Amino acid sequence: MITMKPLTYAVDVQSDPQKAFGLICEIPKWPVWLSFLRSARLADAKKPLQIGSEVVLRSSIPGETEQHFEVDQYIENYLLSLVGAYSVRRRIDFRIERKSKTSKIVVRLDYPAYGGRLASLIDRVTARRKLATALADSLAHFKGLVEFERHPDALLADF
């Protein structure tokens, strides 16, 4: 196994951090804005999101088609961190940094590449590059969703 640098992207949004964090915490809506996910759900949908909650993802992140994560850190309106249930080297972190008039959303994906140096190189050239592009596009989409929720009538004013 080769440890890879995590993929980290950030975007500034013109939105209240609570609204942005609220959208992040709506796990079933992740595939709407995280383009590399096919589905996302809480294993026990009846319980609220909290430390210890299990999240089940079907994605294009290298590994099994269905991956289980556990909420490892949860700080209301600031941090949601998931760690792989079967591999602590798999992480997904969402962090919100409050600025004066904007919020900065930072997403970090961390996963290992198994199979030695050759597999690591192949991953870096293929899957990792696609995932990096998808993550950057997803954050742009997230920004649009959060800012649109903030000013839904602003788009209609132009017509």
From first to last of its 159 residues, what are the pLDDT tens digits of the chain?
A: 455 677 899 999 998 888 899 999 999 999 999 988 999 999 999 999 999 999 999 986 666 678 899 999 999 989 999 999 887 778 999 999 988 778 899 999 887 665 556 655 555 555 677 888 888 999 999 999 998 754 545 544 444
Residue with tokens 């609204």: 19
Burial class of residue 156 (count of CB atoms within 10 Å of its CB; 0-12, 13-18, 19+): exposed
Task: Tell me the C-alpha distance between 87 and 155, whole Å.
Answer: 44
Task: Tell me the C-alpha distance between 38 and 80, whole Å.
Answer: 20
pLDDT at site 92:
93
Angle of CA points 92, 57, 12, to nearest 5°: 40
pTM of the model: 0.80
pLDDT at site 123:
58
Cα dist from 132 to 69, 136, 159, whole Å: 20, 6, 36
CB 91 within 8 A of CB 110: yes
- Beta carbons within 8 Å of 96's beta carbon, 6+ residues apart: 17, 20, 21, 24, 77, 78, 79, 103, 104, 105, 106
